[in-house]
Structure 1
Amino acid sequence: LIILLAGAPVPSVAAKYGSYHDIFCQLFHNAFKSQSSTSAPSSGLRVISFDAVAEEYPTESELDSAKGLLVTGSASSAYEQVPWIMCLTYFCAQLPESHPHLKLFGICFGHQIFAQALGSVVEKNSLGWEIGVRGVMLTDVGKRLMDINHSGTIHLHQLHQDHVTSVPPSCFSIGYTLSCPIHGLVRYTPDVEHNPSDELANISLLTVQGHPEFNPDVTLRVIDERERIGVFDQELAEESRQYAQMHDDGVRFGGLILRI
């Protein structure tokens, strides 16, 4: 799996948990452990990461040999007209045709980058921030992917003010909240007959607005830092801390990435 790092954790998170490379590796380690022997892959996962902010990208050989590529979250906005974000958007727009074998994944900012690359508009949400663990109501497609039939809801850590405003062509929404109508996307391999019994094999893109890689401590540390530098006011920070400590399904979502 190739990871394109679109930023770095806040200092207090980095001091305890390392880089986003380390944090995602821990997510996948936990997901491996949580899966039964019948569903877990038979071999380990090798992860290599590149600094997208520094415009570092994998070689053609590395792309050809990889099975998947993931774009991480970022403190930046996908619509910023800065060179590294424009380069990343262009790179992601080319991947479905240039390397159709790759399974593509986007997390938060990465979700927005892929949506933007496929033709959607990303903008600041007029309803404000979503922070902490929030229940995402799943669409029928999302329920099938998460294998959830009862509650129809998945709980994930959130930390975003921007959002995707429309579903790109050939994609499907996987979930929504009252303040964010598109909480993730799935796209199936073109020209492949859709077989519900083998749905995961036909997925070419999966994105999510939330942060399956976060745990309560990570989210709390980010809230503390954002309050310290004035991004969050005291009222928003205190409310968000309550949501940050709720149960989340991040490891379960990490398992979905592994199965794809």
Structure 2
Amino acid sequence: MLIGILQTGEAPDVLSAEMGDYPDMFRRLLDGKGFTFRTYRVLDMEFPASVHDCDGWLITGSRHGVYEEHAFIPPLEAFIREARDARVPLVGICFGHQIVAQALGGRVERSDKGWAVGPTAYEFGDDRIVLNAWHRDQVIEPPIGAEVIASNSFCENAALLYGDYAFTVQAHPEFRDDFVGGLMRTRGPGVVPDDRLRAAEERLGQPNDADRLAERIAQFFNQAR
């Protein structure tokens, strides 16, 4: 199954040289699950010619806000709606989670709760999953028809399921602890409050359920439609 990675942001150069960029992280996350990958740098206006060019789509994270004025955002929203109409499966992570919601009629804002950083627990129904987080924007109002399938007290709409055509998650299963630690050093100071950075650093190294979420993503892409 060919998955098209729609890249909407970049890892800091000082980190990507050693740990790879966002598409590399998703390839590692989903390695061995029967997928091949093709990357489109939509942040540079490199878009697929058709929603049928790949068997499924994955939208990455980004340091940008979905409500900001960037040239790639309107065509990306249009692409999301086309994928929905064609029932081509779509997965969104962090920025991807938010842009899918916005494109389909939801509302995304910068949360007054501030930043979620580092290992964070989410309730997926009766299941508890710990994933790395790095965000302060949130889906405040899901689109009509979206099912909330994960949440916590900080992020009410932490994962959304849109029938059989879209599955989106606010957290970052592709971010390993070493990368999150690097973000704390490179993008955190002066942006994320010091006490929140310290608390997140203390949680690094605890058991992480990224592999379990990778299985959920694989199952979503592979389910019969």
Aligned to 2:192: 232
Q: Give the alignment partner of residue 219 of structure 1, picking from 180, 187, 190.
A: 180
CA separation in 1, counterparts of 2:130 and 2:193?
25
Which SS does the other structure have where 2:154 is aligned? coil
Deviation string, structure 1 residues 86-133 (Cα, Å, up to 9, x no partner): 322222123211x32x11100000000000011011001111111011
Q: Give the alignment partner of residue 132 of structure 1, picking from 107, 118, 132.
A: 118
CA separation in 1, counterparts of 2:148 and 2:193?
32
Aligned to 1:256: 216
Instruction: Give the letter for the 1:113 counterpart.
Output: I
Aligned to 1:111: 97
Instruction: Give the letter for the 1:137 counterpart.
Output: E
CA separation in 2, counterparts of 1:186 and 1:28?
19
Alpha-carbon distance change, 64 to 87 in structure 1, aligned in 2, over 3 angstroms = closer
Alpha-carbon distance change, 79 to 244 in structure 1, aligned in 2, over 3 angstroms = farther
Instruction: Give the letter for the 1:205 counterpart.
Output: A
Q: Is residue 247 of structure 1 aligned with residue 222 of structure 2?
A: no
Instruction: Give the letter for the 1:235 counterpart.
Output: D
Aligned to 1:144: none
Offset at 1:65? 4.6
Aligned to 1:196: none
Choose between structure 1 and 2: higher helix proportion. Answer: 1
Structure 2 spans left out of the alignment, 5+ residues: 221-225
Deviation string, structure 1 residues 50-80 (Cα, Å, up to 9, x no partner): 11111111122xx325221010000011111
Larger Rg: 1
Alpha-carbon distance change, 119 to 24 in structure 1, aligned in 2, over 3 angstroms = same
Aligned to 1:91: 79
Aligned to 2:223: none
Q: Give the alignment partner of residue 48 of structure 1, picking from 25, 38, 43.
A: 38
Provide the aligned C-alpha RMSD in A.
Answer: 1.5
Which SS does the other structure have where 1:115 is aligned? helix
Offset at 1:155? 0.8
Structure 1 spans left out of the alignment, 5+ residues: 33-40, 140-148, 189-202
Offset at 1:16? 1.1
Q: Give the alignment partner of residue 22 of structure 1, picking from 21, 24, 28.
A: 24
Instruction: Give the letter for the 1:121 counterpart.
Output: R
Offset at 1:253? 0.8
Q: Note if contact 2:132-2:171 (Cα within 8 Å) is conserved in structure 1.
A: yes
Taking the TM superposition and a 5 Å limit, the aligned residue runs for 1:198-209 are 203-209=164-170
Aligned to 2:109: 123
Q: Give the alignment partner of residue 47 of structure 2, picking from 44, 57, 62.
A: 57
CA separation in 2, counterparts of 1:234 and 1:179?
18
CA separation in 1, counterparts of 2:205 and 2:66?
28
Where relative contact order (Cα < 8 A, 6+ residues apart) is larger, the structure is 1
Q: Note if contact 1:158-1:210 (Cα within 8 Å) is conserved in structure 2.
A: yes
Residue correspondences, number: 218
Aligned to 2:15: 13
CA separation in 1, counterparts of 2:12 and 2:69?
23
Q: Note if contact 2:115-2:192 (Cα within 8 Å) is conserved in structure 1.
A: no
CA separation in 1, counterparts of 2:93 and 2:212?
15
CA separation in 2, counterparts of 1:124 and 1:65?
33
Which SS does the other structure have where 1:156 is aligned? strand
Q: Give the alignment partner of residue 58 of structure 2, picking from 52, 70, 83.
A: 70
Aligned to 1:157: 132
Query: Normalization by structure 1: what TM-score?
Result: 0.80
Aligned to 1:181: 156
CA separation in 1, counterparts of 2:72 and 2:48?
15
CA separation in 2, counterparts of 1:215 and 1:18?
11
